[in-house]
A = this chain, B = another copy of it.
């Protein structure tokens, strides 16, 4: 998506070690006018798929998910990162390995808000190693809902997550796919 690629080129900051800072518009300060355009693009890509629920994960996916949900006319459910074992058996749980923080945490969704009647689009801001997306897909499967696909703002296509998840037959639509990046060359997008 040209608009997002242009924005990343203009306002993204590439650091050593494969770090892309987009916190001026995507995941700390949030440009909701941009999000509206991302939402329209997800709606175009997933037109006719009868999505009736959007699933995301706290915190930085929530903004894009909510504004995208306006396009689909459906609610959003966000998976919570759980620090404590949930006592009641009323949640779906899966594990996410955070490469950034070097630890494994549980994510949970209440059984009240995901189930066999749901046709789910997963929305997230980033896809790199695919840890969060893999955890969200596991929640959808556990719930008996239908996974229609995933909509990602920025995919680091030089990391293995996208290929891994697509090879499992999951539809993944990323609006900006980064082929390579470095502080010297900046960001190079996939053709």
Contact = CB atoms under 8 A, between A and B. Distances in A.
A32 B70 contact: yes
Contact of A28 (B28, B67, B110): B110
A37 B70 CA distance: 12
* Interface SS of chain A: mixed
A9 B101 CA distance: 41
A81 to B, nearest CB: 8
A120 B13 CA distance: 26
Given A59-B59, A70-B67, A78-B59, A112 B24 contact: yes
Given A28-B113, A30-B62, A32-B75, 9 more contacts: A23-B112, A24-B112, A25-B75, A30-B66, A30-B76, A30-B77, A62-B62, A63-B66, A67-B70
25 contacts: A23-B110, A23-B112, A23-B113, A24-B113, A28-B78, A29-B76, A29-B77, A30-B69, A30-B75, A30-B76, A30-B77, A30-B78, A31-B75, A32-B69, A32-B75, A35-B66, A62-B62, A63-B63, A63-B65, A63-B66, A63-B78, A66-B66, A66-B67, A67-B67, A67-B70
